[in-house]
Structure 1
Amino acid sequence: MRSLLTASLLVLLTIAPAQAQLMDVLTAPKTLFDRAIEARSAGDIAKDNEIVVKVNGIMGKLATIKASTEIYEQRLLITGIFDDKALYDRFERDVRQVQGIKKLYWHVTYLAKDDAKRKALLDWADVTVMATKAQGRLVGTAGVADVNFRTTTDAYGTVYLLGRARSGEEAKKALARVRDGNGVKKVVNYTAVRP
């Protein structure tokens, strides 16, 4: 089991962007277990993994770690901030050509290196902590199947909720839990409600 976990972590580290790498390392044992008990087919999870590998391949080809991905049922959420407009444009163009994406939630922005707005952005460590806490608040919440939700945060203080709720009540609980965090300025909800 330990060698399987180690091998899985090494694969994740080679294909995932920096923020995602840290999140996977911090949550790896739980994440691997949760993926195994998700209320989805192995084929559906495999389709998600294939899409993420392709997007990470684009990032590798462009030599950038400026974006982060979350995916659920081929609904792909991408966040990030680029300071090179040509790189931003190429990344967006290449991602939009990836086959198999049912819905793309594009929350990647271009912001010049010298833009004064950068001073108000959260740093990488704060973003990572906020994202970890948002997902953590779902764990153990009565009536919320946290394995069916993905959360991430961006440098603007926005928390994103992606996934599937089995009822409207579960969706409301999950949304309330991710909203209830220090520094959360906005929540974007991409929860599908379906039993």
Structure 2
Amino acid sequence: MRRLIATLALVLFSVPASAQLMDVLTAPKTLIDRAIEARSASDIAKDNEIVVKVNAIMGELGTVKASTEIYEQRLLITGVFDDKALYDRFESKVRMVKGVRKLYWHVAYVAKDDSRRKTMLDWADATVMAAKAQGRLVGTAGVADVNFRVTSDAFASVYLLGRARSQEEAKKALARARDGKGVKKVVSYVDVRP
């Protein structure tokens, strides 16, 4: 127990205040989860610094059209823009963020009058799809859900990012992500490492 508290304190002091506040406001269990992850506090702090930089870009551009997930400096960005110039500026600025080891770009430009918009999920439905997929991981024996990030997009794709301790764990996590109502596709960015 003392080790958990010490690790949590280390994470809190190594993470920028703005990232800590976002964790507390958006996902109360995130800080505890990160304290028990199979990663160092400095690795987690690097991830948080990158996300803060990307969020600053969104603030600078005045947009909330994208969403980020990150694990071990592997950055996954999803979203849909209806303004091509804004999309291009956002992509250009994100690609210049220092410290990103790998960028998984799943942001789309879809014009306001594009017929594909009729079949796209709205933000709330995509968020619910992602939350349910994450919830399925939490309840799966043999899956360390704290080592995975899950999100979804307007095209009913679920994205799985993180690290599995074995191929069996990776298969279980992928199957649970896929096992959701309305999920059309699952994209896996899971590394397998003990």
TM-score normalised according to structure 2 size: 0.88
User: Alpha-carbon deviations, 1:144-188, whole Å to 9, x = none?
Assistant: 000000000000000000000000000000000000000000000
Q: Tell me which residue corresponds to 1:125.
A: 124
3-state secondary structure, aligned to 1:164: strand
Residue type of the alignment partner of 1:12: M
Cα 1:8–1:59 shift into 2, 3 Å: closer
Question: What is the aligned partner in structure 2 of residue 12 from structure 1?
Answer: 22
Helix, strand or coil for the counterpart of 1:79?
A: strand
* Structure 2: 5+ residue stretches without partners: 1-11
Cα deviation, residue 33, structure 1? 1.2
Report deviation, 1:29.
Answer: 2.5
- Deviation track 1:27-74 (CA, whole Å, cap 9, x = no partner) reads x23222111111100000000000000000000000000000000000
Q: CA RMSD in A?
A: 1.8
Count of paired positions? 179
1:19-34, aligned counterparts within 5 Å?
Answer: 25=26, 28-34=27-33
Q: Hey, what's the Cα distance between the residues in 2 that align with 1:38 and 1:155?
A: 29
Distance 2:164 2:181 in 1: 24
Equivalent pairs: percent with the same residue? 78
Distance across 1 between alignment mates of 2:29 and 2:74: 22
SS at match of 1:29: coil
Aligned amino acid, residue 169 of structure 1? E
1:64-113: CA deviations, max 9, x gaps? 00000000000000000000000000000000000000000000000001
For 1:57 and 1:175, the matched residues in 2 are separated by 32
Counterparts of 2:19 and 2:105, CA distance in 1: 27
Name the SS for the 2:28 alignment partner.
Answer: helix
Once the two structures are TM-superposed, the CA of residue 11 in structure 1 deviates from its matched residue by 2.8
Q: 1:10 to 1:174 in 2, by over 3 A?
A: closer
TM-score normalised according to structure 1 size: 0.88
1:115-147 residue CA offsets vs partner (Å, 9 max, x unmatched): 111010011111111000000000021110000
Q: Which amino acid aligns with 1:130?
A: M
Partner of 1:48: 47
Q: Distance in 1 between matches of 2:20 and 2:142?
A: 34
Runs of 4+ in 1 over 4 A off after TM superposition: 7-10
Structure 1 unaligned blocks of 5 or more: 14-20
Alignment correspondent of 1:110: 109
How far apart are the structure 2 equivalents of 1:122 and 1:103? 27
- The separation in 1 between residues aligned to 2:94 and 2:135, in whole angstroms, is 29
* Structure 2 match to 1:66: 65
Q: In the aligned structure 1, how far is the partner of 2:85 from the partner of 2:64? A: 15
